[in-house]
Amino acid sequence: MIVPCIISGQEIVNKDTTFPVFSHKEPETALHHFSYFTVNEDNIKSIADNAKKGFKQWSEVSISKKVEIFNKFIEILKSKREEFINVHTEIGGPGWFANVNIDGIIGQVQEYIGCLSNSEGELFHSEHNEVAITLRQPIGPVLSISPWNAPVILGGRSVLAPLAAGCSVIAKSSEKSPKALYLLIKYLLEAGIPKDTVQLIHLRPEDNPPFIDGLLATGAIRKLNFTGSTAVGKKISTVAAKYLVPCLLELGGKNISIVREDADLTKAVPKITWGAWAHMGQICMSTDKVFVHESIYDEFKEKLIPVAKEMVKDPDFAINQRDTLGRNKVVQLVDDALAKGASIVFGDYSKSDIETKNVLSPLILENVTPDMEFYSTESFGPIYALEKFSDIDSLVEEINSGDYGLKTSIWSSNVLSAINVAKKIECGGIHINNITVHDEPHLPHGGVKSSGSGRFNSRWGINEFSYIKTITADY
């Protein structure tokens, strides 16, 4: 199969410009190919002009018609459920996570339908006019860039939020999972979205920089949203800044669990471990570091070993990492930590076995120190580190001194005390007595510091792709 681009409602396939999408099981074997967009000034101008036309087309669609289109999209998503599950599992996503993706995107559409009838403005007193009004207005055409690891829900939200705000969208897929976004755009058009309002392009990795720079240089794009690594997010935001294009960025996280002395360990131990290992750690919200109060540290470890032994029997933990690049990064972090004095609490680690079998067995480390790369680097693998703490205020200071701020969990039987601690932590989402992997369609999602800026989901997502206009009137 060759996955096409979709430009102005037309599926575009050029057999002379294709790029392979490799298997997670056999990194040298292609699952299929995609037809990549040829980056040149004329082609970029064409899709930019389409996006401007699409913005106008979408602005002329009534709210009732938009509700009808989104409801039709939900019907299609439900009827194509197995198709979406397959596009996720074929790139290494476990079955449960594939279901989470399709359920999540349906929930996103439902939430945005509810938001469409919200007030678009407010009425204010004016000292110098009879009336003053503020209106929420769509910001204009948007460039949406989504990652491979949860391609249905992350690809979908990158498009749905600007659409719900009233914007047109040029969506760029990940070269590791182009089929999911292709299906989403195809079915949005089938549901009735105007042909120039949503477009899809695929790129070879080396074409990303000239494409983004060239598209932003046209002046057509009024906002960019990107979900992915912090390193790439910094590069993209630097280019966007050159053209004064604002960005919504959902980036990496060095996510943390805090286990206080009054925590219910029977609940905390399995949930924390699952939250670190799920999808082989390839979730931006996965737990990387677990701080356990020194008074219960030994008890935590004692309960941890049998839980981990049982959990690792799940066949999902024998799934390969998405590619050798990600796998090798985790290996490098573990090798560096072990060489500098870290120790393995649980798991079998053999670099040669990993390279032979292409599977990373889940690991738990301890004695990880600041001079080790793992201490401050997102692993994106099935691994987390234990660390003792004695004073919660000192721990909060340490956490806040770090670069990231996406997700934190706090485990405590004193919920009010935990809420007070949560208020002090610089983090986009804090979950008390639950895991760091948490995202719901009606709640804002995003990070601070090197974990990004802005929020997806619900009215917060709509507001990200809007601006406020002030109108005054007098007789």
Q: Count Cα neighbours of 460 within 13 Å in the Cβ-side half-sphere.
A: 13
Does residue 363 sit in the same domain as residue 270?
Answer: yes
Q: Measuring CA to CA, which residue among 284, 248, 286 is closest to residue 460?
A: 248
Does residue 226 sit in the same domain as residue 295?
Answer: no
Question: From the candidates 111, 284, 427, 464, which is the catalytic residue?
Answer: 284
In this structure, is residue 439 part of a structural domain? no
Both ends of the chain: CA-CA distance in Å?
A: 64
pLDDT of residue 358: 82
Output the tens digit of pLDDT for each of the chain's 475 residues: 999 999 999 999 999 999 999 999 988 899 999 999 999 999 999 999 999 999 999 999 999 999 999 999 999 999 999 999 999 999 999 999 999 999 999 999 999 999 999 989 999 999 999 999 999 999 999 999 999 999 999 999 999 999 999 999 999 999 999 999 999 999 999 999 999 999 999 999 999 999 999 999 999 999 999 999 999 999 999 999 999 999 999 999 999 999 999 999 999 999 999 999 999 999 999 999 999 999 999 999 999 999 999 999 999 999 999 998 889 999 999 999 999 999 999 999 998 889 888 889 999 999 999 999 999 999 999 999 999 999 999 999 999 999 999 999 999 999 999 999 999 999 999 999 999 999 999 999 999 999 999 999 999 999 999 999 999 999 9
Q: Measuring CA to CA, which residue among 133, 160, 128 is closest to residue 144?
A: 160
Does residue 384 sit in the same domain as residue 270?
Answer: yes
250: annotated active-site residue: yes
Beta bridge partners of 431: 409
Task: Return d(Cα 312, Cα 239) in angstroms, integer.
Answer: 43
Task: Return d(Cα 57, Cα 422) in angstroms, integer.
Answer: 44
Task: Return d(Cα 387, Cα 385) in angstroms, integer.
Answer: 7
Secondary structure (3-state) at 3? strand
pLDDT digits (tens, 9 = 90+) for 25-61: 988 899 999 999 999 999 999 999 999 999 999 999 9
pLDDT of residue 357: 81
Pairing type for strands 131-138 and 121-124 reads antiparallel
pLDDT of residue 3: 98
CATH number for the domain that contains residue 214: 3.40.605.10
Does residue 208 sit in the same domain as residue 286?
Answer: no
Does residue 99 sit in the same domain as residue 135?
Answer: yes
Instruction: Write the DSSP assignment of 190-246 as a string of letters.
Output: HHT--TTTEEEE---GGGHHHHHHHHHHTT---EEEEES-HHHHHHHHHHHHHTT--
In this structure, is residue 438 part of a structural domain? no
Q: Measuring CA to CA, which residue among 252, 291, 287 is closest to residue 271?
A: 287
Contact 277, 311 (CB under 8 A): yes
Does residue 245 sit in the same domain as residue 162?
Answer: yes
Does residue 37 sit in the same domain as residue 91?
Answer: yes
Task: Return d(Cα 121, Cα 458) in angstroms, integer.
Answer: 17
In this structure, is residue 443 part of a structural domain? no
Per the structure block, which two tokens stand in for 118? 């919200």
Does residue 178 sit in the same domain as residue 279?
Answer: no
Helices (H), 60-207: 63-79, 81-89, 95-115, 151-165, 178-191
Does residue 227 sit in the same domain as residue 271?
Answer: no
Task: Return d(Cα 296, Cα 117) in angstroms, integer.
Answer: 51
284: annotated active-site residue: yes
Does residue 117 sit in the same domain as residue 65?
Answer: yes
CATH number for the domain that contains residue 304: 3.40.309.10
Domain carrying residue 147? 2-252+452-473
Cβ neighbors of 233 (< 8 A, separation 6 or more) are 226, 249, 251, 452
Q: Measuring CA to CA, which residue among 104, 124, 206, 86 is closest to residue 439?
A: 104
In this structure, is residue 47 part of a structural domain? yes
Count: domains in the chain: 2
Instruction: Write the DSSP assignment of 427-444 as a string of letters.
Output: -SEEEETS-S----TTS-
Contact 414, 422 (CB under 8 A): no
* CB-based burial label for 341 (10 Å; 0-12, 13-18, 19+): exposed
For residue 385, the tally of other CB atoms under 10 A from its CB is 24
Does residue 151 sit in the same domain as residue 281?
Answer: no
| E runs forming strands in 373-435 | 383-389, 407-411, 429-432
Q: What is the reported pTM?
A: 0.96
In this structure, is residue 442 part of a structural domain? no
Q: What are phi and psi of 286, to 5 degrees?
A: -60, 145
| E runs forming strands in 295-347 | 343-346
Does residue 54 sit in the same domain as residue 199?
Answer: yes
Question: From the candidates 90, 111, 175, 250, which is the catalytic residue?
Answer: 250
Task: Return d(Cα 199, Cα 49) in angstroms, integer.
Answer: 12
* Residue reference for tokens 């995003």: 446
